[in-house]
């Protein structure tokens, strides 16, 4: 997710200002190349394989973008770590509660539908 966020930042920087809500979007050649790479080899896991693929490519601009992606500046300056932590903790708590509810239903011999009807 962090790698994809960095890719999006670089694409936005490359495209320039004014593309946020405009119908006349100016897409840079770098953005077009990165989009093609994402379509060709979708990013999975931590994105390391995607970045490696960009670094091995023939296009110098794409290789330079890959170097920018892996720079720590995007992890330290452009990414909201506090928000990420809050959302992660919220998601973990929701998952934990879902698992506990499912375990309790299984222990009590009730189905999810029965539990919803009683609520």
Query: Domain extents for the chain?
Result: 2-15+27-76, 81-118
Residue 64: what pLDDT? 86
Which of 2-20 are b and which e, b meaning 16 or more Cβ less than 10 Å from the residue's Cβ? ebebbbebbbeebbeeeee
The pLDDT of residue 97: 93
Q: pLDDT category, 119, cuts 50, 70, 90?
A: low
Structure-model confidence comparison of residues 85 and 76, the more confident one: 85
pLDDT digits (tens, 9 = 90+) for 25-41: 678 888 889 899 889 98
Give residues with Cβ within 8 angstroms of 27, minimum separation 6: 15, 19
The yes-or-no verdict on residue 72 having pLDDT over 90 is: no
pLDDT, residue 73, reads: 42
3-state class (DSSP) for residue 111:
coil
Mean pLDDT of 49-76: 78
Please state, for a pLDDT cut of 70, what percent of the chain lies above it: 76
Q: What is the pTM of this model?
A: 0.53
- Other C-beta atoms closer than 10 Å to the C-beta of 77 total 9
Distance CA 38, CA 73 (A): 22
Averaged pLDDT score across all residues of the chain: 80
């Amino acid at each position: 997710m962090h790698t994809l966020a960095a890719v999006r930042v670089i694409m936005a920087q490359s495209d320039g200002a004014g593309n946020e809500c405009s119908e006349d979007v100016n897409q840079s050649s770098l953005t077009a190349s990165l989009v093609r790479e994402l379509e060709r080899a979708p990013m999975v896991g931590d994105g390391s394989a995607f970045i490696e693929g960009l670094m091995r490519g023939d296009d110098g601009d794409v290789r330079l973008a890959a170097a920018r992606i892996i720079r720590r500046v995007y992890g330290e300056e452009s990414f909201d770590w506090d928000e990420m932590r809050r959302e992660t903790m919220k998601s973990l708590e929701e998952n934990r509660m879902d698992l506990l509810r499912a375990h309790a239903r299984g222990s009590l011999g009730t189905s999810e539908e029965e539990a919803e009807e009683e609520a």
